[in-house]
Structure 1
Amino acid sequence: MKVVLDTNVIVSGVLTAHGVCAQILDMLTEGVFGIYVDDRVLAEYDSVLRRPRLHLISNDAAEVMEWIRSIAEHVGAVPLPAELPDPEDLPFLEVAASAGAILVTGNARHYPKRSRGGVMVLSPREFLELLRRSP
Structure 2
Amino acid sequence: MRVFLDTNIVVSGVITPNGSPGRILHALRERRFELVSCVELAEEIVSVFGRPKIRQRYPHAVEALEQILALLLSETSMVVCQAGPLPTISDPADAVLLARAAAGGADYFVSGDKSDLLALDMYQNIKIVSAVQFLEILGENPVS
TM class, shorter-length: 0.7 to 0.9
CA distance in 1, matches of 2:45, 2:15: 14
CA distance in 1, matches of 2:43, 2:17: 24
Is the contact made by 2:37 and 2:78 (CA closer than 8 Å) also made in structure 1?
yes
Identity %: 29
Unaligned 5+ segments in structure 2 are: none
Judge which range, 11-20 or 58-67, deviates more. Answer: 58-67
| Equivalent residue pairs, number | 133
Give the equivalent residue in structure 1 for 2:100: 95
Tell whether 2:130 aligns with 1:123.
Answer: yes
Q: In angstroms, what is the RMSD of aligned CA positions?
A: 2.2
TM-score (norm 2): 0.80
Give the equivalent residue in structure 1 for 2:52: 52
Go from structure 1 to structure 2 and tell me whether the alpha carbon gap of 1:49 and 1:4 turns closer, same or farther (over 3 Å shift): same
Structure 1 counterpart of 2:71, from 67, 91, 100 = 67
CA distance in 2, matches of 1:100, 1:12: 24
Q: Please list the CA deviations of residues 6-65 of structure 1 after superposition, one character each: whole Å capped at 9, or x if unmatched.
A: 000001100112100110000000000011112222211221122222225595344432
The DSSP-based 3-state class of the residue aligned with 1:92 is helix
Q: Please list the CA deviations of residues 49-91 of structure 1 after superposition, one character each: whole Å capped at 9, or x if unmatched.
A: 2222222559534443223212121123324242111111012
Q: Which has the higher helix share?
A: 1
Give the equivalent residue in structure 2 for 1:7: 7
TM-score (norm 1): 0.85
Is the contact made by 1:34 and 1:72 (CA closer than 8 Å) also made in structure 2?
yes
CA distance in 2, matches of 1:59, 1:107: 24
Is the contact made by 1:103 and 1:119 (CA closer than 8 Å) also made in structure 2?
yes
CA distance in 2, matches of 1:127, 1:114: 13
